Amino acid sequence: MKKEIRETKDSLAKKILYKTLSSWLVGKPCNTKIRGGKEEMSVVAEALAASKRFNEELYDSNATVESVVRCLGEKHVVAQRFEEIWGVPWPL
């Protein structure tokens, strides 16, 4: 029973995190605080920035295939670090 409750809480926390990050990425205001250590917060900031750069590049009319692929590669590198540190895949 306790394991099921913990899994439900973890699942809810992931959903809140994903919703918050998605909102921030598209410029919607969000009032959620994410807590963690220096390394955890650093990788969240890096992952957000890499995702935003990729998204902006993807919709930039002057972007090239090479620039989009480069941004995607940078996003994947940071996403791997995020998963190593947080234990969950980067949602964006």
Count the neighbouring beta carbons within 10 Å of the beta carbon of residue 70. Answer: 14
pLDDT in tens, the chain (92 residues): 545 545 555 677 677 777 777 777 777 777 777 778 899 989 988 998 999 899 999 999 999 999 999 999 999 999 999 999 988 888 88
- Per-domain boundaries in the chain: 2-27+34-86
| CA geometry: angle 84, 86, 88, nearest 5 deg | 85
Residue 28 is predicted with a pLDDT of: 79
Q: CB-based burial of residue 90 (10 Å sphere; 0-12 exposed, 13-18 middle, 19+ buried)?
A: buried
* Cα 82 from Cα 92, distance rounded (Å): 11
Structure tokens that stand for 78 in this block: 């940071």
Residue 34 is predicted with a pLDDT of: 75
Residue 68 is predicted with a pLDDT of: 97
Residue 22 is predicted with a pLDDT of: 75
